[in-house]
């Protein structure tokens, strides 16, 4: 069942949808034994054009919430720690990788997105006041939605 996200947080959730699509495409590519260099190029492209910016947005607009709402600190710290771990995986894509590494990256990213969507974001939305939520929404206003399926090489097919 789809989770109804507040308007302020919807840009991040739309970006999460694209992240889940990215994970699905990686799984399809591994199942087809697609060219590993092509998969790595796609992965690096996704990091540079989408996910790195997404992580920056979350850290800019959400991390400081813990100062006002300490009850959010554990979830925010988990988000931050997972961002660093995922960043290391994406950096590894520029070096030699195997299908196992790609599968592991896909699983870690999917788990991270599910945590944010099912636990962290609902906790934030039910905890912070409407002014704080509006500030987040204003900061995220105009964020573009990307679709990783627009990548020019359709190696997952």
Q: How far is CA 133 from CA 61, 64, 120, 156, in A?
A: 10, 13, 14, 38
pTM for this prediction: 0.93
* pLDDT values of the chain reduced to their tens digit, one per residue, 157 residues: 556 889 999 999 999 999 999 999 999 999 999 999 999 999 999 999 999 999 999 999 999 999 999 999 999 999 999 999 999 999 888 887 899 999 999 999 999 999 999 999 999 999 999 999 999 999 999 888 888 888 988 988 8
Under DSSP, the state recorded for 33 is T
pLDDT at 96: 76
Cβ pair 14, 146 in contact under 8 A: no
The closest alpha carbon to 143, from 24, 44, 79, 53, belongs to 53
Tokens for 106, please give them. 């896909």
Cβ pair 19, 109 in contact under 8 A: yes
pLDDT at 35: 95
Measured from the Cβ of residue 7, the count of other Cβ atoms closer than 10 Å reads 11
- Say if residue 3 is exposed, middle or buried (CB neighbours under 10 Å; 0-12, 13-18, 19+): exposed
CA atoms of 26 and 20, how far apart (whole Å): 10
Query: Domain boundaries in the chain?
Result: 7-150
Tally DSSP H helices, then E strands, for the chain. 8, 0
């Amino acid at each position: 069942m789809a989770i109804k996200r507040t308007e302020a947080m919807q840009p991040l959730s739309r970006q999460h949808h694209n992240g889940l699509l990215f994970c699905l495409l990686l799984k399809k590519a591994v199942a087809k034994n697609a060219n590993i260099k092509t998969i790595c190029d796609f992965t690096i492209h996704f990091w540079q054009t989408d996910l790195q910016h997404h992580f920056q947005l979350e850290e800019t607009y959400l991390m400081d919430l813990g100062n006002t709402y300490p009850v959010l600190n554990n979830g925010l710290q988990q988000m931050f720690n997972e961002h660093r771990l995922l960043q290391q995986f994406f950096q590894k894509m520029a070096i030699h990788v195997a299908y196992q590494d790609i599968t592991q990256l896909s699983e870690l990213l999917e788990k991270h997105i599910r945590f944010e969507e099912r636990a962290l974001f609902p906790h934030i939305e039910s905890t912070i006041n409407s002014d704080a939520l509006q500030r987040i929404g204003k900061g995220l206003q105009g964020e573009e939605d990307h679709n990783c399926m627009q990548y020019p090489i359709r190696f997952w097919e």
